[in-house]
Copies of this chain bind each other. A is one copy, B any other.
Amino acid sequence: MKKQSPRTRRHIRTRQAILDAALSIVHEDGPDGLSMRTLADRIDYSPAGLYEYFGSKEEIIAEVCDEGHRRLAAYMLEVESSLSSTDYLYGIGLAYIRFALENPDHFLLMFSSPQMAGDAPEDALPQDSESSYGILLHGIERGIDAGAFHVRPGFGLSEMGYAAWTLVHGMAMLRVTALRDVPLDLDAADHQALLNFMRGLQAA
């Protein structure tokens, strides 16, 4: 399992250049600005040449989405783990929303299409500690272990994680779609919604 030949090395390099250019275009001009021709132009290739590296445009977009999920997870990993369990979970939620607000087109691309999203749902949601959902689950687990969150029949870690995910996802999604340009203090509203969520977790 050594290094590859210079050819395959260039291959993966230009492959990455394609993905980088695709991501740039999405961030600059939105998903509609991403065409095989503009993409090829940016890296001085012919449109046909791209098909030497990807089977279709959808494949490229799928990889852009994967990168998005990695970055989303990175946002969530930035939260200080020294915080109290409630503050920590609160920070996780804010990080999710912040990623959406700072990368609206990327976020929309990741979660607007029925497929996308690297979900390998065998019989459960991805619990690996490097995926965004896994990090979220970890935050809740901390609260449970600390006795801050109250587990009850039918409402354990999984259900709490689902509830938290849907809440922050709904806030993020609405703020980049229907509530874009609404002149209200949605940060404050998010704050209150998260507090209310945790009140439910803490209730005896």
Seen from chain A, the residues whose Cβ lies within 8 Å of a Cβ on chain B are 104, 108, 111-114, 116-117, 119, 121, 123-125, 154-155, 158-160, 162-163, 165-171, 173-174, 176-184, 186, 188-189, 192-193, 195-203
Contact = CB atoms under 8 A, between A and B. Distances in A.
A177 B110 CA distance: 9
Counting from the closest, the 8 A-B pairs by CB-CB distance are A170-B170, A163-B193, A166-B170, A196-B200, A200-B200, A199-B200, A169-B170, A112-B112
Contacts of A189: 158-159, 162-163
Q: Oligomeric state, in number of copies?
A: 2
A165 B159 contact: no
Contacts of A177: 111-114, 116-117
B155 A196 contact: yes
Contact of A123 (B119, B167, B183): B183
Given A121-B184, A125-B182, A197-B200, 5 more contacts: A158-B189, A163-B193, A166-B167, A196-B197, A199-B199
